[in-house]
Chains A and B, each alone.
Chain A
Amino acid sequence: MTPDRGEEAGTKLPGKLIVVEGIDGSGKSTQMHLLDQWLHHLGLLVFSTEWNSSEVVKEITSKGKKKALLTPTTFSLLHSTDFADRYERKILPLLRAGYFVLADRYVYTAYARDIVRGCNPRWVRKMYSFAAKPDLAFYFQVPVEVAMKRILTGRPKLKYYESGMDLNLSNDEYESYRIFQSRIIDQYEGMAREEGFTVVDGTLDIEPQQTAMRRKVMKLLPRAAAATAGMELGVR
């Protein structure tokens, strides 16, 4: 893998970085889980990591977050801190060690959300310039109504920031959510070409989606694993 940015520029990382992007309810986490299982089954070293999941950062901000009002800038910086912690302690070392690193959301989530919140696009991108470029980035394309329906069946209450309530888009949190997520979709769509996203139709059934993803991932596998995978998927 040859990241073209940041301090990793020019150095080859032995591991492979696969990321999924898309709005909540696009089905990406389900697919990532299946991919994780499959790669394990093929005998590969796999590490999965999720957006906004660093324990250290959570501990530091949990007290403050309740009291303090997050501005777009502090919101953005807390997420980049979270990312940096996972990147410095897990993602980068494991890519150096030859792992398959699966990231459920990556820097593109920040690009999309922070820009919708009003942060300067160049500022956000420069902040994340140290991050290695993924070998594969799947974008789960799904209409906002479909995603909302999925989200609301499992969890009837929407969270304040994920509904974009801080942006004063609407007093109704469902309406705010719809507007906010639609704007994020616009950002993703804009990035899809220039960042080379592999677009997955998130409205399809789970199994055909997974098959399509595995066919893409197959190209990154070492020879022996690729042969096994090829037989399973019925391709050579």
Chain B
Amino acid sequence: MSVEDTRGGKPLEFYGEGVSYLQGREVKGKLIVIEGPDGSGRSTQVDLIKAKLESDGHAVTTTGLKRSELIGKGILEAKQKLPLGKKTLALFYAADFADQLEHKIIPALEAGYVVLADRYIYTLMARSTVRDISRTWSHDLFGFAIKPDLVFYLDVEPEELFHRVFQKYATLDYYESGADLGLSDELYSSFVIYQRMMAKEFKRMENKYGLIPIDANRAIAEVNTDLQRRIDAYLATPLRQAQRTRRRGAGSRR
């Protein structure tokens, strides 16, 4: 980051090729991402963090996958009707994400909001990778995504996740159990194997994209204290120092 701006605005920083027609736009807000599997407590943490930040006087907005005007609900309906191809699904999710990035995330950041993202591109990339899509292709595909200020990954043991998910929904999601991958003819084993593959992929992404792992096997309040402490520290740090100290996602390719 070579540009110094004492008012706190900074140019958009992309992971890859970027988006030429967005070049030159400046953001003042902060993008904070909470990643993690279903049952890791993501949305609960997003709610708690939002409430705390708002009480501290920050303008906060939240975003998540499959919430775009464009195709959000359509994906869910289509997946129930017939199995879509792996690349088709990956591109669909990318379109949904792009819609929210351009229509929601970037405008909010320009207006100075703290944007709390309930999942970001990392889940999408990990899902693709465990389905044999090349990491390079996924990385390049999301070259239009901007680098968040902070990314937390809520790490939970697959066995513990299973209990949480099952107690909450009394059923397991087909894709989140990796049932489409034929890992096991029995859903518990499939779920555990799949979640382990996903966790391994997230582990791999830690350095490359600057993910901060958070032990989310702990109680909600304990995890929240941990997250909030890190977020508060980040937001309290003056811009230039924060840019030096934050764990930056490596946009460069291997």
Q: Which residues of A contact B (CB under 8 A)?
A: 7, 56-57, 59-61, 63-65, 67-74, 77-78, 80-81, 84-85, 87-89, 118-120, 122-123, 126-127, 129-130
Contacts and interface: CB of A to CB of B under 8 A. Distances in A.
B87 A130 contact: yes
7 contacts: A60-B92, A64-B72, A68-B70, A71-B99, A120-B143, A126-B140, A130-B137
A59 B74 contact: yes
Contacts of A73: 19, 98, 102, 144
Contact of A74 (B17, B72, B95): B95
Given A71-B102, A74-B95, A74-B99, A120 B19 contact: yes
B69 A74 contact: no
Interface hub of A74, A80, A88, A118 (most chain B Cβ within 10 A): A74
A87 B73 CA distance: 23
Interface in B117-146: 134, 137, 140-141, 143-144
B165 interface: no
Contacts of B17: 120, 122-123
A78 B95 contact: yes
B94 interface: yes
What DSSP secondary structure best describes chain A's contact surface? Answer: helix
Interface of B: 16-21, 68-75, 77-78, 82, 84-88, 90-92, 94-95, 98-99, 102-103, 134, 137, 140-141, 143-144
Nearest to B144: A73
A61 B87 contact: no
A60 B87 contact: no
A202 to B, nearest CB: 31
A212 to B, nearest CB: 35
Nearest to A70: B70
Contact of A88 (B75, B86, B143): B86
A87 B137 CA distance: 17
Given A61-B71, A77-B94, A122-B17, A127 B99 contact: no
Contact of B85 (A64, A85, A129): A85
A62 to B, nearest CB: 8
A61 B74 CA distance: 7
A94 to B, nearest CB: 14
Given A126-B137, A127-B141, A77 B98 contact: yes
Given A60-B74, A74-B102, A120-B143, A85 B19 contact: no
Given A77-B98, A87-B87, 5 more contacts: A7-B134, A59-B74, A67-B69, A85-B84, A123-B140
Nearest to A65: B70
A70 B84 CA distance: 23
B74 A88 contact: no
B77 A60 contact: yes
Interface hub of A61, A69, A81, A119 (most chain B Cβ within 10 A): A81
Contacts of A69: 103
Contacts of B91: 77, 80-81, 84, 127
Contacts of B92: 57, 60, 81
B103 A85 contact: no
Contacts of B143: 120, 123, 126
